[in-house]
Homo-oligomer: A and B are copies of this chain.
Amino acid sequence: MHVCTLLAAKADGPLTSDFIAGSVNTNPVVVRRLVGQLARAGLVRTELGAKGGVVLARPADRISLADILRAVEPGPLLALHASRPNPRCPVGRTIQDTLAPHFARGERALATALDAVTVADVMAECRAGAAH
């Protein structure tokens, strides 16, 4: 989100991973890894070579928090236990299949809430906050 807000705020030309890393306070490579995920999800475009960098692939008001979450966290937030329970126990045999749809419904509720907020919204709120 920090990266996308930055891209929206400084939309005149691409930003370099060095510049972004300076604002996020991390390493350029970490930013490039993150940007790679956003790019694969179609949220940003990267331009190689000199004067290159990252730009939003869509208007900021058409990228939601949910889009970014999906891009960056492909797996479920509510994960089932990695090792299978004991299939000889009536509960163990069925618990995973029983829980999965409930978890999925919860995640959909989360995604719906996050879908209501766009990068443009966050940028505007950031500007309002920075005015102080």
| Contact call A2/B91, Cβ cutoff below 8 A | yes
Residues of A within 8 A of B (CB): 1-2, 5-6, 9, 22-26, 65, 69, 77-78, 81, 83-86, 89-95, 97-99, 102, 105-110, 112-114, 117, 122-123, 125-127, 129-130
| Contact call B130/A94, Cβ cutoff below 8 A | yes
| Contact call A107/B106, Cβ cutoff below 8 A | no
Closest to A90 in B: B130
Q: How many Å lie between the Cα of A99 and that of B25 in the bound state?
A: 17
Closest to A5 in B: B91
Question: Counting chain B CB atoms within 10 Å of each CB, which of A26, A90, A93, A95 scores highest?
Answer: A95
| Contact call A81/B24, Cβ cutoff below 8 A | yes
15 A/B residue pairs, CB under 8 Å, sorted by A: A23-B92, A24-B81, A24-B86, A25-B92, A65-B106, A69-B78, A91-B130, A94-B125, A94-B129, A94-B130, A98-B129, A102-B114, A106-B114, A107-B110, A110-B113
